[in-house]
Amino acid sequence: MSDHQEEQPPENMEASDEIRDHVLIDLSGGDVSATTTGGLWRTAGREIIRKKSAIVGLALLSVLMILAIFAPVIAPYPPNEVLFDEGVAPRDPPCVHLLGCDPDTPQHILGIDGNGRDYFSRLVYGSRISLIAAFAAVLFAVFWGTLIGLLSGFFGGWTDNVLMRIMDVLLSFPSLLLAIAVVTVLGPGLINAILAIAIVTIPQYARIVRSSVLSIREQEYVSADRALGVSRWRILAHRIFPNTLTPLIVLATLGVATAVLEIASLSFLGLGVQPPTPEWGSMLAAERNQVFTAPHLVFFAGLMIMWNVLGFNLLGDGLRDAIDPRLGK
């Protein structure tokens, strides 16, 4: 079909291009078409700055980003260095010189973990794993979800039916359960945990992209394109895809929060990141039996997970309100 359209003589092409530009200019005034995306984002940026929750979210995430990027500078010790030579014992309590800790004992502001490593340094390095893993999982899921949603919504018919039934099946499992099952098949580890979480979340993105496509497909500027003989792939790539981005970006930001939680959960269960890699979930799991004697070793790792999740949730909520106030309050 599309090949047939491209075989038209060049002068016709030019003519139709010209008409198409006119049509687009006419339509762009009233509708949010691809040509107004820059304006939308500028408005959204202004709105976000006005939202307190988004600012708090951004602030929380900035701290984490700084920790992750400058980890070697901020952390006083390498994350996996065992410090028994320096006279520390497993699970030594925090020692801060400024707060009256004996200046002769080495300073470890959050104490020592069960294997004699500086707990603070491990927490700092943990931010790298948490951020990278969550971003990777969401990017993978967004890529495949968008592709499936676009194809499904645009082509309809049996393509849509088959793809959406597969998505329904994936959605009918509680997400953590399915992620556990997938990791069991793939084997534990960081990459496999990322893949598992991505696979589990693909349906959410596929569904939201599909529903955007279904509504955009019927818009006048798409009909105009179709009438002008623009190829299906060009319509998909240049008219429909840009307009699905708004809800997708909001969902993806909130999705990073979920991914952070699920990666930590998988690692906590021993199926995700493996020791000695400093990851908050597995650090928490390693010390969970010591919660009654050394609760700080459990407390701070969980606090970091919460910090990260909270940051992305607040930012996602703020983005949603800024881009489309109708979507939620």
Contact call for residue 301 and another protein (CB under 8 A): yes
Q: How far apart are CA 296 and CA 290, in angstroms?
A: 9
Interface with another protein (CB under 8 A), residue total 43
CA 18, 23, 27: angle at the middle one, nearest 5?
150
What contacts 320, CB < 8 A, 6 or more positions away?
Answer: 250, 254, 327, 328
Answer for which of 201, 265, 277, 282 binds another protein (CB under 8 A) is 265
| Contact window for another protein (CB under 8 A) among 61-69, 117-125, 144-152, 302-310 | 302-310
Q: Which of 253, 127, 266 is nearest to 196 (CA)?
A: 266
Min dist. Cβ of residue 180 to another protein (A) = 6
- Cα–Cα distance list, 235 to 2, 156, 219, 231 (Å): 11, 15, 12, 6
Min dist. Cβ of residue 28 to another protein (A) = 31
Task: Quote the DSSP letter at residue 222.
Answer: H
Nearer to another protein, 15 or 191 (CB): 191
CA atoms within 13 A on the CB side of 23: 17
Answer for which of 53, 115, 231, 274 binds another protein (CB under 8 A) is 53
Q: Which of 313, 200, 295, 300 is nearest to 256 (CA)?
A: 313
| Contact window for another protein (CB under 8 A) among 87-95, 136-144, 244-252, 295-303 | 295-303
Contact call for residue 269 and another protein (CB under 8 A): yes
Answer for which of 54, 314, 319, 323 binds another protein (CB under 8 A) is 314
| Contact window for another protein (CB under 8 A) among 8-16, 76-84, 209-217, 286-294 | 286-294
Min dist. Cβ of residue 323 to another protein (A) = 17
For residue 3, count other CB atoms closer than 10 A to its CB. 7
One-letter amino acid for residue 241 of the chain: F
Measured between its terminal Cα atoms, the distance across the chain in Å is 44
Min dist. Cβ of residue 268 to another protein (A) = 5
Note the residues at the interface with another protein (CB under 8 A).
53, 165-166, 168-170, 172-177, 180-182, 184-185, 187, 257, 261, 264-265, 268-270, 281, 284, 288, 291-292, 295, 298-299, 301-302, 305-306, 309-310, 313-314, 328-329
